[in-house]
Structure 1
Amino acid sequence: MNALTGIDLDLAKTKLSGFSVSGLATWMIAPDLDLCFDMGECPLSALPMNHVFLTHAHGDHSRCLLRHDALRRMIGINKEGIYYLPEEIYEQALTWIRAGAWFEGSRAKNPKVPKLIPLKSQSASSEPIRLHYRDNLSVRAFRVDHGVPSLGYTIYDSRLKLKKKYHGLSGSKLAQLKREGVVIEAPLHTPRLTFIGDCTAETLWRESEIWESRILVIESTFIAAGEETLARKRGHTHLNEIAQIMTEKEEHIACEAIVLKHFSMKIKPLDALEAALRVIPPQFHDRVYLLTHLPKSMRGQSLGELAWQGI
């Protein structure tokens, strides 16, 4: 299994590529959105991405952040990469970056530091933050339960929409109001993609807004019967807990695609598939995808598509 080799998904008009195995590496690229989530490894396809969102500091999610920055400069990408991370680990990140430079032989007293943007957890009612290089995309960071400071991220399609009270006015009247300084538009944010690194099921229950994203990417580290308590103890989620949430929240789940990732290294891909087909409620099979190294002919297909093929 090569952690630099991603699995490609084409979901809800969004292309994704990623790898995620617990303890080994997690990363995901959304090339159409110019961003990456986590950097447990740094495939070359990640280098053009100008925005990187780090969920937490565990090495299988973070260790190649500096490599991403260094390789971009090495191949001549002049645009500065933007690295978002939980505010609680910002100072430690600076120390880590400087120590890494000195370890590699830099003699600079203050080595060059990538552009780090510390983020606080935001409530669901908070205004999302516009991305540095993309005016049409915004992000909301939210608290994640994992035992170390962690954030999940929701990416929004953002645009201005005419306020309701001005509907029906002519173009000339609207233009006149704008010349007079009247604000006739309000921001509209539509949740497109939510990514969570590692978390307990408590996060999935509490953050109800994540189930409104067109695409939701969550972990499912444990799948074996009877390991739910162990999953919670280690700051992770069990497949049975996800199935329970789907059953109880069914009417409120608007996601077009739900991607399960971060299976334990002990779990064989086909075993993960068998468990998902057995445990996930059948009404969700057409919306659930596994980010695991199934045989190539089976990758990128929903549980429903695989079940229809008799797999």
Structure 2
Amino acid sequence: MRKIATEEAFTIPEIVEAIRNVIRRGGPNLDLLLLKQLYEVPASPPAEAPSDSMQVSNRDRAAKDMLPKLLDFDTARLATMDANGVDIQILSLVMPGVQMFERVQAMELAQLANNRLGEVIRRHPDRFAGLASFAPQDPRAAAKEMERAITTLKLNGFIVNSHTGNAYLDDPQFLPILEAAEALGMPLYIHPRAPSDGMAGPFREYRLEGAVWGYGIETGTHILRLIFGGVFDRFPKLQVVIGHMGEALPFWLGRLDFMGAPGARAGRKNQLLPSEYFKRNITITTSGVEDPLALRYCIDKIGADRIMWAIDYPFQPTPSAVAFIDSAAISDTEREKIAWSNAERIFRIKKNH
């Protein structure tokens, strides 16, 4: 069966070095905890270190091992795809993208990353598609880069890593970005990052900031701000994609519809039920959630047309993600939609891929 993986990460050397400079400066942002693991070699623990310290070091090494995979396009990545029957990866710049850099640097690195991505796709047109990065730090320049990415580089949509400067896309300053995404008719993938500074406290002590919990909470909150802020009413054709089986939001839709119906509370601007936006404006991917019961629930709740398969390469193993979509107790029609045909339609992947 044809397979298109829809949340697959990469980076480029220039962004690696820029991130290392951010790490050297330090600061309170929770993303730095993971970034230190990805981009700095952890110190070896002393011989007398307790076992829990050794386990932390091993986890640090595992994170560090991700960097060569993120930088690779032509060897290990393709070999893994071939070995597991993955036809296409939709590539996107790894979290946090360019969103922790100052404005000019962020704009320049987003353009560079998009150019490199375009080159990779031209080199392997039947194996890769791509989502364009942009710098929300300058929304008008971001909109121009979004247009260039689609019209000139022929990319397949956009990627943003939740908040920028602790602000979310419902903030009026980001209107040019939303206008561009809707006008260009291409999807905006909202990928997680660690909780913003205002909600970071409870996540720090037990390292809850990442994929274990914080990522889903952060991105789910972002989507609810778009819903209750009326963004999807102002931009009814805007298409947003979120990963990780919808960041748990499909499982809350009954309560959200009850508590968040139009006019249910002061200050809410939504004209539809939250579940209606999921059926009109929001598509989810399975990235990192290989649970057949969760998949069955989401199909029944929002429909198979609103779900796409993903691996979350290189952070999740490819073989288990492939086995999951091959073996899940769903119909052949549902499997075809989720494994590849929805991705072709939503990301406008040409048939010759």
TM-score bucket of the superposed structures, by smaller chain: 0.3 to 0.5
Q: Could you state the TM-score of these two structures normalised by the residue count of structure 2? A: 0.34
Would you tell me which structure has more strand in proportion to its own residues? 1
Indicate the structure whose relative CO is greater, using CA pairs within 8 Å and at least 6 residues apart: 2
| Structure with more of its chain in helix, by fraction | 2
Q: Highest Rg: 1 or 2?
A: 1
